């Protein structure tokens, strides 16, 4: 049987670092490179897809049997997102080479994620939903290459390196299954034309030794030609979403369609509350003993930023810049944490 075609429509590079907030501790750096496929219409057949994608579909079907139930609905479209990334965490005092028992462990994560986005317009509904299922596999510990990555950047910038990486969490396979639903008012076309505002709600569940948590959030947006997507977020499962491929392709048509992409900019505020049952960067290793701290079960996060999109030489460019604030994540932590996030996307 011939393989079902998966064609790529664009990609995004995200960089997060607390240097934008003037600190160098806690969640100190994250980077992710994502590729997004074109939308696939109709029911999906795992046996007709490339093997790794088909295996992931079968696993999602086993973990969440209802996810594919409506995949063939006329109002449904699906697309695939692949994500490669790294995250690193450090205590506050970079000069100490001993174990700092009262501060966050040194920890790194190197991962690969494969996600399915399913966009559905309920019958006779004035809103639409985006359901996301993402499987993430990777490694935590020295094999994550967090220490040499940080040392390389610090040497290039002339910054003193952290001296306690020998106490980081130990090597261990990393895995996570993420399930999220977002919902917002229905929009036709690639943007909401002119000045407008909208709100995007979300609920999510993540299970694994990377993080086990449940969350709920809302994003408020206001601006000119707001994109018909499901918002801007820091690096996390399900963060990469775009307007449907069918309307994104209209950016090169002449005369220009009313549904075609247009340049625009908007401001946004994102609020999220999270109940956390496990976090490898605080709890350490799941399968062996390691340094850990007193994780707090409730965490709140707020982000504020600016998103924009342009049409340049028939290509779509996207830029989102945000500042993120997070409440204390563990008992010994001194005050809240903040970091900056930049995302640059290209539409082929």
Could you tell me if residue 1 is inside a domain?
A: no
CATH code assigned at 280: 2.40.128.140
What phi and psi, each to the nearest 5 degrees, are found at residue 38?
-70, 160
Rounded (10°) CA dihedral 308, 188, 116, 316: -30
Could you tell me if residue 46 is inside a domain?
A: yes
DSSP state of 295: B
Q: How far apart are CA 214 and CA 159, in angstroms?
A: 37
Look at residue 73 in the predicted model and tell me its pLDDT: 63
Look at residue 2 in the predicted model and tell me its pLDDT: 47
Maximum separation of any 2 CA atoms in the chain, in Å: 67
Q: CA angle 76-81-83, nearest 5°?
A: 160
Could you tell me if residue 76 is inside a domain?
A: yes
Could you tell me if residue 251 is inside a domain?
A: yes
Residue ranges, the chain, pLDDT below 50: 1-3
Look at residue 4 in the predicted model and tell me its pLDDT: 58
Report yes or no: 236 and 270 within 8 Å, Cβ to Cβ.
Answer: no
Look at residue 100 in the predicted model and tell me its pLDDT: 95
Q: How many domains does the chain have?
A: 1
Q: How far apart are CA 82 and CA 37, in angstroms?
A: 9
Could you tell me if residue 186 is inside a domain?
A: yes
Instruction: Identify any residues that bridge with 181 across adjacent strands, giving them in sequence order.
Output: 131, 203
Could you tell me if residue 2 is inside a domain?
A: no
- Collapsing DSSP to helix, strand or coil, 150 comes out as helix
Q: Extract the runs of DSSP E, i.e. beta strands, from the chain.
A: 8-17, 26-37, 40-41, 77-90, 107-120, 127-140, 172-185, 191-208, 211-227, 264-279, 298-312, 315-326, 337-347
Q: Which of 237, 241, 249, 247 is nearest to 345 (CA)?
A: 241
Print the domain residue range for 249.
Answer: 8-347
If 0-12 CB within 10 Å is exposed, 13-18 middle and 19+ buried, where does residue 115 land?
A: buried
Look at residue 74 in the predicted model and tell me its pLDDT: 62
DSSP state of 21: G
What phi and psi, each to the nearest 5 degrees, are found at residue 286?
-85, -35
CA contacts within 13 A on the Cβ side of 331: 7
Q: Enter the tokens of residue 103.
A: 């501060």
Q: How far apart are CA 12 and CA 115, in angstroms?
A: 14
Look at residue 254 in the predicted model and tell me its pLDDT: 84
Quote the pTM value: 0.93
Helix, strand, coil percentages, rounded to 5, for the chain: 15, 50, 35
């Amino acid at each position: 049987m011939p393989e079902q075609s998966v064609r790529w429509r664009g990609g995004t590079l995200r960089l997060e670092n607390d240097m934008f907030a003037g600190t160098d501790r806690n969640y100190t750096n994250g980077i992710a490179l994502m590729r997004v496929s074109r939308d696939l219409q109709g029911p999906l057949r795992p046996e007709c897809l490339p093997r790794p994608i088909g295996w992931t579909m079968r696993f999602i079907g086993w973990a969440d049997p209802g996810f594919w139930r409506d995949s063939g609905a006329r109002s449904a479209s699906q697309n695939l997102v692949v994500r490669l990334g790294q995250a690193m965490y450090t205590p506050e005092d970079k000069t100490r080479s001993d174990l700092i028992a009262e501060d966050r462990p040194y920890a790194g994560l190197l991962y690969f994620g494969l996600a399915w986005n399913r966009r559905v317009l309920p019958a006779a509904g004035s809103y639409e939903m985006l359901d996301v299922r993402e499987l993430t596999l990777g490694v935590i510990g020295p094999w994550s290459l967090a220490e040499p990555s940080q040392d390389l950047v610090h040497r290039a910038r002339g910054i003193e390196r952290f001296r306690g990486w020998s106490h980081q969490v130990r090597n261990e396979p990393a895995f996570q299954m993420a399930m999220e639903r977002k919902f917002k008012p229905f929009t036709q076309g690639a943007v909401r034309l002119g000045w407008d505002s909208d709100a995007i709600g979300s609920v999510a569940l993540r299970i694994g030794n990377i993080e086990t948590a449940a969350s709920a959030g809302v994003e408020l947006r206001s601006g000119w030609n707001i994109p018909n997507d499901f918002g801007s977020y820091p690096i996390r499962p399900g963060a990469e979403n775009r307007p449907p491929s069918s309307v994104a392709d209209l950016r090169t048509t002449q005369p220009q369609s009313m549904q075609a992409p247009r340049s625009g900019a908007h401001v946004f505020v994102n609020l999220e509350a999270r109940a956390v049952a496990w976090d490898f960067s605080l709890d350490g290793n799941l399968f062996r003993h390691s340094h850990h701290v007193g994780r707090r079960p409730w965490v709140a996060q707020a982000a504020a930023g600016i998103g924009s999109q342009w049409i340049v030489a028939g290509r779509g460019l996207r830029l989102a810049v945000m500042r993120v604030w997070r409440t204390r994540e563990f008992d010994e932590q001194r005050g809240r944490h903040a970091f900056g996030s930049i995302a640059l996307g290209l539409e082929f």
